[in-house]
Amino acid sequence: MKNQEVSAIFRGIAELLEIKGDNPFRIRAYLRAAETIEGLEKDIQDYAAGERLEEIPGIGVDLANKIKEIIATGKCKYYEELKKLVPDTVVSMLEIPSVGPKTANLFFKELKIRSVDELKNAAKSGRLLTLPGIKQKTIENILKGIELLKKGKERMDLLTATTVAEVIVLELRRLRDVQIISAAGSLRRMKERVRDIDILAATKNPKKVSDAFINLPHVKRVLACGETKSSILTKDDVQVDLRVIDPKSYGAALVYFTGSKNHNIALRSRAIKMGCKINEYGVFNKKGLCLASKTEEEVYRSLRLDLIEPEMREDTGEIEAASKHILPKLIEIKDILGDLHAHTSYSDGKDTVEAMSQAAASLGYDYICLTDHSVSLKVANGLDTARLKKKRHELESVNKKLKNFRILFGSEVEIDSDGYIDYKNDILSGFDVVIAAIHSGFKQSRKQLTKRIVRACQNKHVHIIAHPTGKLWPTREPYDVDFKEIFKVARETNTALEINAHPYRLDLSDTASRLAKENKVPLAINTDSHATSHLAYMKFGVGLARRAWLEKDDVLNTLELDALLKAIKK
């Protein structure tokens, strides 16, 4: 279907006309036509073939001729001429949240500003204040918008990327022509941040699959369209690239397009030493005979390697381990038996004790620890002793209703600026699990922050340190701590460090988690849920753990309940 392609061009024409200050009725005509074409159930090519384009509401002779031109050539001469008058870089300014077509036109005409970078410089230098209607607050909003645009373009979080990819993969999988389909690239490797989404589909009918892809209802703009590669921008401004592959080469292509770049380079180097060649089509000997291509397992086997899981493909020792058959058996989501960090409506959570416990049980867990904030964190409605008693009473009541499931009584207690924690020892001793966390004083020195965490580890009632570096994407970078010292004390005191699975945290990092494992520090993967829906974030934490080469035995909450409670004792 060409519907999305035609619609995207008409929207582009409307944008350019608006920047030029053209007739508003003309602009609206193109926008209405774009919306109408997007909503058509039939392929617009069918209308064109039957000379019925003018039957479509809002399509007259002029627009009908442009549609025919786009169908025939993939381009529109009028659109190409407009783009010469208004540079693409000016159009890119429309992506800034606080900049509309009229404002972009004003900047272009009056100050000859032709790009986002030029606009940023003009805003900082004060040149924009010379324009009518532009005030200091406007400039502040523009600069904030530019920073948001920059961050959004550079990377997206795993939740956003996964959600978009799952929807598109699900829709394309419904096509009979699609034999196998998977996300690839950094998303498949579960990188913390993803630039764009790569999807790989095996098919014998590449054109049909590519056409279906560019005409999905989520498409805002078609960036490229071909039989082997197509690229779209979704309505949420996420770039998605689709590559269609012959089924016989799918395994080799999946290895190649999953990456990482360094992993692929290392594979090529190994292949060359073996007198072979590896690319997206397969592994070939000197005579050009294909040795392997259909599955990833046979591709690795042809290089005398065990199958390397996608999350490990970063050229950090995985190829040597695969050649020696000593790859770890990575942790899987099915190994997780419970979540040890979750909040309820008693503090800053959305859902009740019963709702959170039922949601956890529905995931197949054996237990959940409800760790509402302690009294010092007023902003999160931290619990005083009276509300703690009320919560415990409710928790015990709900526990009586549940079968083969247990709610643990816990707390996320504050680590103050000196490393001391909330609640007295008699209260702390009553919790099943105590998680300690820093929520303030992030600008302290490396030495001070390390001291706070070390002192919390040394408290005999603390079992886990939550989100150990305090990072919160995209607003807060991780604070600097001495992991060597923290690992030493955590190991000595049997204090676990948390891998926080929330997609805006993912803290510890994969690198730090792997070092923690090497230093024999216990780890726990938790979601830090503030609603029942957040419990599903566990998959992101497990993905990070797999990137860190963690196995089931490295993670506390893979243990059965009695074994868990025994393991956290100091």
Q: For residue 336, report the phi and psi dihedrals to the nearest 5 degrees.
A: -75, 125
What is the Cα–Cα distance from 482 to 315, expressed in whole angstroms?
Answer: 26
One domain, residues 301 and 177? no
CA atoms within 13 A on the CB side of 559: 17
In a domain, 554, yes or no: yes
- Domain end, chosen from 123, 154, 185, is at 154
Q: Are residues 172 and 221 in the same domain?
A: yes
Encoding tokens for residue 144?
Answer: 């904030």
Residues 414 and 489 in one domain: yes
Measuring CA to CA, how many Å separate 216 from each of 165, 234, 488? 13, 9, 53
Asked whether residue 383 carries a pLDDT value surpassing 90, the answer given is: yes
Q: Are 553 and 560 in contact (CB under 8 A)?
A: no
β 338-342/178-183 pair status: unpaired
Q: How confident is the model at residue 447 (pLDDT cuts 50, 70, 90)?
A: very high
CB of 351 within 8 A of CB of 298? no
Q: Of 96, 122, 154, which closes a domain?
A: 154
First vs last Cα of the chain: how many Å apart? 65
Q: Tokens 């005509």 belong to which residue? A: 29
Q: What is the pLDDT of residues 71-93, one digit of tens each?
A: 999 889 999 988 888 776 677 78
Q: List pLDDT tens digits, range 328-352.
A: 999 999 999 999 999 999 999 989 9
3-state DSSP helix/strand/coil % of the chain, to nearest 5? 50, 15, 35
pLDDT digits (tens, 9 = 90+) for 118-168: 889 988 998 888 888 888 888 888 887 787 666 655 678 999 999 999 999
What's the rounded Cα separation, in Å, for the pair 122 and 96?
15
Residues 83 and 104 placed together within one structural domain of the fold: yes
pLDDT of residue 111: 87
Residue 328 domain flag? no
Residue 421 bridge partners (DSSP): 415
10 Å Cβ neighbour count for 220? 17
414 Cβ contact partners less than 8 Å away, ≥ 6 residues apart: 373, 374, 376, 377, 382, 421, 422, 436, 437, 438, 439
Rounded CA-CA distance 535/339 in Å is 8
Closest CA to 494 of 570, 407, 405, 431: 570
Specify whether 408 is located in the same domain as 555: yes
Q: Do 402 and 549 fall into the same domain?
A: yes
Q: Based on the fold, state whether residues 118 and 188 are members of the same structural domain.
A: no
Residues 301 and 344 in one domain: no
d(CA 23, CA 14): 10
**pLDDT tens column, 504-551:** 999 999 999 999 999 999 999 999 999 898 999 999 999 999 999 999
Q: Could you give the CA distance from residue 521 to residue 228 in angstroms, rounded to a whole number?
A: 47
Distance, C-alpha 289 to centroid of its chain:
39
Q: Which helix (H) or strand (E) holds 407?
A: strand 406-414
Q: What pLDDT, on the 0 to 100 scale, is given for residue 41?
A: 67
CATH of the domain at 93: 1.10.150.110
Domain range enclosing 134: 3-154
Residue 263 phi/psi, 5° resolution?
-65, -45
**525-537: pLDDT as tens digits:** 999 999 898 999 9
* Tokens at 334, concatenated: 């099915």
The overall average pLDDT reported for the chain is: 92
397, part of any domain: yes
The domain tally of the chain equals 4
* Claim to verify: residue 506 and residue 550 sit in the same structural domain: yes
Residue burial 114-137, b: 16+ Cβ < 10 Å; e: rest: bebebbbebbeeebbeebeebeee
315 phi and psi angles, rounded to 5 deg: 55, 50
User: Do residues 500 and 543 share a domain?
Assistant: yes
Six token digits for residue 443? 């600008």
In a domain, 450, yes or no: yes
Report the CATH number that the domain containing residue 315 is assigned in CATH. Answer: 3.30.210.10
For residue 196, give the CATH number of its domain: 3.30.460.10
Is beta strand 433-437 parallel, antiparallel or unpaired with respect to 464-465? Answer: parallel
For the domain that residue 472 is a member of, what is the CATH number?
3.20.20.140
Residue 300's Cβ-count burial label (10 Å; 0-12, 13-18, 19+) is buried
Same domain, yes or no: 168 and 127? no
End residue of a domain, out of 190, 214, 245: 245
**What is the b/e burial string over 141-166, where b = at least 16 CB atoms within 10 angstroms of the residue's CB?**
bbbebbeebeebeebbbbebbbebbe
CA–CA dist 132, 116 (Å, integer): 20
d(CA 159, CA 70): 36
Q: Is 119 part of a structural domain of the chain?
A: yes
- Same domain for 293 and 380, yes or no, is no
Is residue 61 assigned to a domain? yes
Structure confidence by residue, pLDDT tens digits, 384-415: 999 999 999 999 999 999 999 999 999 999 99
